[in-house]
Amino acid sequence: MQRFITQTLFICSIISLVFLSILSRADGYTDPFYVRFTSPKQESLILGSSRAAQGLQPSVFKDYLKKDVFNYSFTISHSPYGAVYLNSIKKKLKKNTTNGIYIVTVDPWSISSKTKDPNDSINFGENKLCLANTYLVNMNPNFEYLIRTFAGKYYTLIQKKRGSLFLNNDGWLEVNIGMDSSSVARRIDAKVYDYKTNNLPFYNFSSLRLEYLYKTIQLLKQHGDVYLVRLPVHPKIFEIEQELMPDFDRKISEVVTITNGYLDMTKENEGYQYIDGNHLYKESGKLVSGKVAKWITESGKSKIETTSNKNGNLINRR
């Protein structure tokens, strides 16, 4: 027996060592999520779906706010507001932080659900995805994520193929893709078709998700200032969103009251470039990040009750 156990342990140790050394090669090219689970706990966060993941660039915020604001946004499937996202945010937040800045992005999809009953939290899609399955979100290398949740094949970690997606260490998902007009038009058409056929008929407003948005903001308020932002999208996608939730502003009005301000950038939808209608092109993302950062700086300085801006609808509350 002793011989069997010793030999098995010896062989398993060699296998584990080689395997773990291969796993430790994982980086920003591995997948669009991994790196976010490898940073230490954070004081300031950007939250939301893939729009925020691609659109809001922490390096720009650092220039304006002199703070590291980590992008902890995923996708509409992984991180709509709900228990799963809230629990993961709790794990990512540095305890005892009191001066953090939290940029919470919202749109109709992030407070809707594809389940038959939009409040059927047991069957929420994100329950089976990486945010729900990753208990350790601040470990580098994150073997737990790679072993339990990583959806690809491990040999890709040896190949080190450079794809069009790169997840920066600050959590910003950089997409390097052809932006010639015909490619962009094709991608926008495909995305609009996808949203019209696969999302719009199935998504419904979820009061439970709205409640979780409220809870998320309440949590963040204990650690600093919370700014609510609705990012710009292509007008065609915006039309679909309006169809899904024409009274979006009314629905979130109560949530807005507990934040430090709400910036609705959809009034300037036309002013930016999108890779597929839903996600900002990185140059436009830079501009949008700058505007949001400037707005946060100004609201921090002015502490006014309510104001508006010619570029968009700004409501500040302090």
Partner 1 sequence: MLFNSIDFAVFLPIVFVLYWFATKGSLRLQNILLLVSSYFFYGCWDWRFMFLLIFSTVLDYYTGIKIYEAENRKKKLFWLWLSVGINLGFLGVFKYYNFFADSFADGLSLLGFKANLATLQVILPVGISFYTFHGLSYVIDLYKDRIKPERNFIDYSVFVSFFPLLVAGPIERATHLLPQIHKKREFNYAKAVDGLRQILWGLFKKIVIADNCAEYANTIFNNSADYSGSTLVLGALFFTFQIYGDFSGYSDIALGTARLFGIELLRNFAFPYFSRDIAEFWRRWHISLSSWFKDYLYIPLGGSKGGMWMKIRNTFIIFLVSGFWHGANWTFIVWGFLNALYIMPSIIFSTNRNNLEIVAKGKYLPTPKEFFDISLTFCLTVFAWIFFRANNVTHALSYISGILSPSLFSVPEIRPKVTILFILFLIVIEWVGREGQYAISSLGLTWIKPLRWLLYILLALVTLLNSGSKQEFIYFPF
Smallest distance from the beta carbon of 286 to partner 1, in angstroms?
Answer: 34
Binding mask 20-59 for partner 1 (x = CB under 8 A): --x-------------------------------------
The answer to whether the beta carbons of residues 103 and 290 sit under 8 Å apart is: no
Query: Rounded to whole angstroms, how far apart are CA atoms 140 and 142?
Result: 5
Q: Scan residues 136-195 and list those touching partner 1 (CB under 8 A).
A: 147-148, 150-156, 158
- Stretch in the footprint of partner 1 (CB under 8 A) among 17-25, 65-73, 263-271, 307-315: 17-25
Smallest distance from the beta carbon of 8 to partner 1, in angstroms?
Answer: 7
Q: How many helices (H) and strands (E) does the chain have?
A: 12, 10
Smallest distance from the beta carbon of 73 to partner 1, in angstroms?
Answer: 23
Three-state secondary structure call for residue 157:
helix
**In the complex with partner 1, which residue's Cβ is closer, 95 or 116?**
116
Binding mask 100-139 for partner 1 (x = CB under 8 A): ----------------------------------------
Query: 9 CB contacts (<8 Å, ≥6 apart)?
Result: none
Among 8, 21, 164, 308, binds partner 1 (CB under 8 A): 8
- Residue 271: CB atoms within 10 A of its CB come to 13
Query: Rounded to whole angstroms, how far apart are CA atoms 284 and 139?
Result: 32
Smallest distance from the beta carbon of 155 to partner 1, in angstroms?
Answer: 4
By CB under 8 A, residue 214 contacts partner 1: no
Smallest distance from the beta carbon of 88 to partner 1, in angstroms?
Answer: 20
- Stretch in the footprint of partner 1 (CB under 8 A) among 1-9, 94-102, 111-119, 290-298: 1-9
Give me the helices (H) in the chain, please.
2-23, 50-55, 58-65, 83-92, 130-133, 143-148, 156-159, 181-194, 207-221, 235-244, 248-257, 282-302
Query: Rounded to whole angstroms, how far apart are CA atoms 213 and 104?
Result: 9
Locate tokens 């040999």: which residue? 155
Smallest distance from the beta carbon of 61 to partner 1, in angstroms?
Answer: 34
Query: Rounded to whole angstroms, how far apart are CA atoms 95 and 84?
Result: 19
Smallest distance from the beta carbon of 245 to partner 1, in angstroms?
Answer: 29
Q: Nearest Cα to 111, choosing from 103, 101, 119? A: 119
**In the complex with partner 1, which residue's Cβ is closer, 8 or 311?**
8
Among 15, 136, 185, 304, binds partner 1 (CB under 8 A): 15
The answer to whether the beta carbons of residues 80 and 129 sit under 8 Å apart is: no
**In the complex with partner 1, which residue's Cβ is closer, 147 or 185?**
147
Tell me how long the chain is: 318
**In the complex with partner 1, which residue's Cβ is closer, 30 or 50?**
30
Q: Per DSSP, what are the bridge partners of residue 312?
A: 309
Contact residues toward partner 1 (CB under 8 A) are 1, 3-4, 8, 11, 14-15, 18-19, 22, 147-148, 150-156, 158
